[in-house]
Structure 1
């Protein structure tokens, strides 16, 4: 009897130890919770300026709520490249910061593998950003993605190398706002295309200045003398139907223009375009100032100033 009791006690003890061990192992095997987008930003010191902006704009809760978001997140170096520091963030209004930050957020999860060669997508700021992917990497508004596909429970983060500033002008607005484009505007109006480049879209326009027209021997008087059909042919071969930033230029690649049957051949050293198969000199992109002479993001595409009209 004593031996039987001892045996039962031993079996009970083994069972209890096994249960405790199994429970401990189960606790150890529990996966770590995936952080939200706000958690990722808050826990990375390289996002301290982004966190300050998110907090000031009162967007932390929105970026931690369940859902599927894509955030193009500028790190501290990106803010510095844009000339934005803590002092600027502290002095900016909540509304101004929210407008900038929501321009970095898409209301769907988009991994880097799903970024198209060239396309536009609407942000939570209700304005388009222009994404692209090529042999040079992944870009948004021509800004490089430094680190892609940082996972969060409510979406994905792509770290970018500059801050995206929401545009306020259309392509037509950029052209009409400068006297240097008066011949171009006159040509566009004669071609009946001013409305087209004011409408929503994802166009790329290689915009010749007045000096660029004159360099090719084209003056306002020339535009006045040409027929609307002739002017339309000239203007249309300056426009590509999708977004092409300087980061998307691949040497010797070709891109169809809005002029039927006409494409542009791309050069990269220096950045330039010319009619494919044409014998006229190339038109160089004026790369003096990003956002001012090239990679000018608009609400409906991108503008690059060129030094010679494309003929």
Structure 2
């Protein structure tokens, strides 16, 4: 497809040029296409309201616009990011729009059912995306010809109208706004991986896990409870070595690349081994539970057990449902280990001494500054419940509330 400049794209969007409809009415300019879709009036109005933002986007040869329909805006709750939009924060708005634009023309017919693809977007700002080549969105065709896009914190948007061609690419209409992936500490809370998050703080490894282009295998809370003192009695240095065995640094590896027999070099220096048995996938002897959770700096997969760098040859027993522990002195505990190491970021207790208050403030500031551009309104239970839903979007402020809400949760 020929190159189509963003200035030309903006002009077409706003109806400032007259490209016209090709013979047989098959392809038109973007402005005419959006104006003719009654279910895209809110999205079209948003683009018209902020034309200068689109002019800032880079030129690209062919684009795919994932356009949220009117219903997508009507179900978006209020969040603390509303203030950014109410104050016309063009940086925030630009980055959200960039995440809805894919590099290249992607049509639904290209999808192989059941095989996810991870498509680069125009979201490349390092404050929002710490992966090479543009932040990704997952696209997969599921049973029943249902096509979904999976974005940050596991949010799902369904394709409701496909392959609307225009002179600069294609528009795909979706039923929910995409959420740019968040920092690891926000994502772990959204997926209830709080012991894993706490272990990163306890071992001082959060900065290590926050560098660009990583693959993380995060044990679930039950895995930490099953080990108990086998981990909690470790020094910070010993715990850091264990955590490093769950990190592939410098490479973003999605589930499609976790083929049987693959060996991956971890930050600890030891390899982990991928094995398949029937429909189950294992990392060493830990079962892979949830795959392809997009984070700001790569991808995270959830596993059932904690990996031991001193036992890299551990193999699963597919005949049993729950794999044995690979640490000596493992003992079940009722509490969630390491969660007390997570800095308080909201509703924090007030201490009686200045020194203690200063320390708590510093910890909270570090937590906030290490997060991605999208942050949560609470340190606990992100995405667990919706706030209130916004109503109509007749006013400009309503439009900004809508997009602001989309940043965090659907």
Task: Give the drift of 1:73.
Answer: 1.4
User: Aligned-pair distance for 1:46?
Assistant: 1.1
| Matched-pair contact (CA < 8 Å) for 2:288–2:301 | no
Name the counterpart of 2:283.
275
**What TM-score comes out, normalization by structure 1 length?**
0.58
Structure 1 residues 159 and 140: CA distance shift in structure 2, 3 A = farther
Q: Could you tell me how far 1:231 is from its partner in structure 2? A: 5.6
Distance, in Å, in 2 between the alignment partners of 1:283 and 1:226 is 24
State the alpha-carbon separation in 1 of the partners of residues 76 and 66 from structure 2: 15
Corresponding residue SS for 1:262: strand
Structure 1 segment 30-41 matched on structure 2, within 5 A: 30-32=23-25, 34-41=27-34
1:163 Cα deviation from its structure 2 partner: 1.0
Summarize the Cα distance change of 1:151–1:231 in structure 2 as closer, same or farther, 3 Å threshold: closer
Residues 1:304 and 1:215: Cα distance change in structure 2 (over 3 Å)? same
Q: Is the 8 A contact 1:133 1:139 kept in 2?
A: yes
Structure with max Cα Rg: 1
Q: In structure 2, do the counterparts of structure 1 residues 30 and 296 end up closer, same or farther at CA, with 3 Å as the change threshold?
A: closer
**CA RMSD, aligned part only?**
4.9
Kept after mapping to 2: 8 A contact 1:78/1:162: yes
Question: Unaligned regions of 5+ residues in structure 2, if any?
Answer: 1-21, 266-270, 308-325, 327-410
Contact 2:67 2:174 in 1 (8 A): yes
Are the aligned partners of 1:118 and 1:130 in contact in 2 as well (CA < 8 Å)? no
Which of 299, 306, 309 pairs up with 1:309? Answer: 306
Q: Assess, with a 3 A threshold, how the Cα gap between structure 1 residues 44 and 60 changes in structure 2: closer, same or farther.
A: farther
CA offset at residue 129 of structure 1? 3.2
Cα deviation digits, residues 42-99 of structure 1 (max 9, x gap)? 2211112212221222269759x996221111112333444379xx799462614333
Whether the aligned pair in 1 keeps the contact of 2:200 and 2:243 (CA below 8 Å) is: no
CA gap of 1:30–1:118, structure 2 versus 1, over 3 A, is: closer
CA contact (8 A) 1:205 1:239 kept: no
Relative to structure 1, the CA distance from residue 33 to residue 175 in structure 2 (aligned partners, 3 Å threshold; closer, same or farther) is closer
Q: 1:208 aligns with which of 219, 241, 246?
A: 219
| 1:300 correspondence with 2:269 | no
Given that residues 109 and 156 in structure 1 are in contact (C-alpha distance below 8 angstroms), is that contact kept between their aligned partners in structure 2? yes
| Aligned residue in 1 for 2:43 | 50
Aligned to 2:264: 258
> Does the 8 A contact of 2:60 with 2:103 survive in 1?
no
CA–CA distance in structure 1, aligned partners of residues 35 and 301 of structure 2: 37
* 1:119 correspondence with 2:154: no
Q: CA deviation at 1:104?
A: 0.8
Specify which of 104, 107, 112 is matched with residue 108 of structure 1.
104
> Is 1:157 aligned to 2:171, yes or no?
yes
Question: Partner residue of 2:63?
Answer: 69
Tell me the secondary structure at the aligned position of residue 218 of structure 2.
strand
The structure-2 alpha-carbon separation of the partners of 1:60 and 1:211, relative to structure 1 and needing over 3 Å to count, comes to closer
Aligned length: 254
Q: How does 1:86-105 map to 2 (within 5 A)?
A: 91=86, 93=88, 95=90, 96-105=92-101
For 1:54 and 1:37, the matched residues in 2 are separated by 11
2:130 aligned with 1:130, yes or no? Answer: no
C-alpha separation between the residues in 2 aligned to 1:55 and 1:130? 26
Is residue 139 of structure 1 aligned with residue 138 of structure 2? Answer: no
Q: What is the CA deviation profile of residues 229-271 of structure 1, one whole-angstrom value per residue up to 9, with x for unaligned ones?
A: 66644x2489994245xxx8xxx98695735351165999xxx
With CA pairs under 8 Å and 6+ residues apart, which has the higher RCO, 1 or 2?
A: 2
Structure 2 CA distance for aligned equivalents of residues 254 and 144 of structure 1: 30
Flag the 1:104–1:228 CA change in 2: closer, same or farther, 3 A: closer
Question: What secondary structure sits across from 1:31 in the alignment?
Answer: helix
Q: Which runs of 5+ in 1 are unaligned?
A: 1-28, 286-293
